[in-house]
Amino acid sequence: MSIVHSDRFGQFQQNNARPHASRVATKWLQEHSSDFRHFHWPPESPEMNIIEDIRDALLHAVENRSPPPRTPMDLWTVLKDEWCELPPRYLQTLVESMPHRVAAILCVRGDPTRY
């Protein structure tokens, strides 16, 4: 994590998806636990992370590219380009949706929401 957060204030969060909770991933996290702070996320927690919305927007943008990226480097370039094209207002809307997301989760006592 020091590569990403040289100030060592970075925090690692994972969503307990199967690949993230595998033996290999769990072992790696345990071996490197002193390298970063790990935010413990409850299993099967309701999804509130706005990065999921951003990931979906990037996925659709990449899928609509013509011609599509053909190599990993092409994909990386396209993703960076599309990231820079995300409208600031879209990102602001996602941030502003957080109080509504929290309220929705509280309302359904942690069950799935429309988010």
Q: Mind listing the pLDDT tens digit for each residue in 42-66?
A: 655 556 788 889 999 999 999 999 9
Query: Does residue 5 lie in a domain region?
Result: no
Residue-number span of the structural domain to which 56 is assigned: 44-114
Q: Are residues 77 and 107 in the same domain?
A: yes
Q: Are residues 72 and 49 in the same domain?
A: yes
Q: Answer whether residue 39 shows pLDDT above 80.
A: no
Q: Are residues 77 and 24 in the same domain?
A: no
pLDDT of residue 66: 93
Query: Does residue 4 lie in a domain region?
Result: no
What does the pLDDT look like over 1-24, one tens digit per residue?
555 556 666 666 666 677 777 888
Q: Are residues 54 and 31 in the same domain?
A: no
Between vectors from CA 69 to CA 67 and to CA 73, what angle results, nearest 5°?
Answer: 145
Query: Where is 3: in which H helix or E strand?
Result: none
Query: Does residue 1 lie in a domain region?
Result: no
Q: How long a stretch of residues is the chain?
A: 115
Specify the number of domains making up the chain.
2
Taking CA atoms, 47 is separated from 2, 14, 62, 70, in Å, by 27, 12, 23, 32
Query: Does residue 109 lie in a domain region?
Result: yes
What does the pLDDT look like over 58-92, one tens digit per residue?
999 999 999 999 999 999 999 999 999 999 999 99
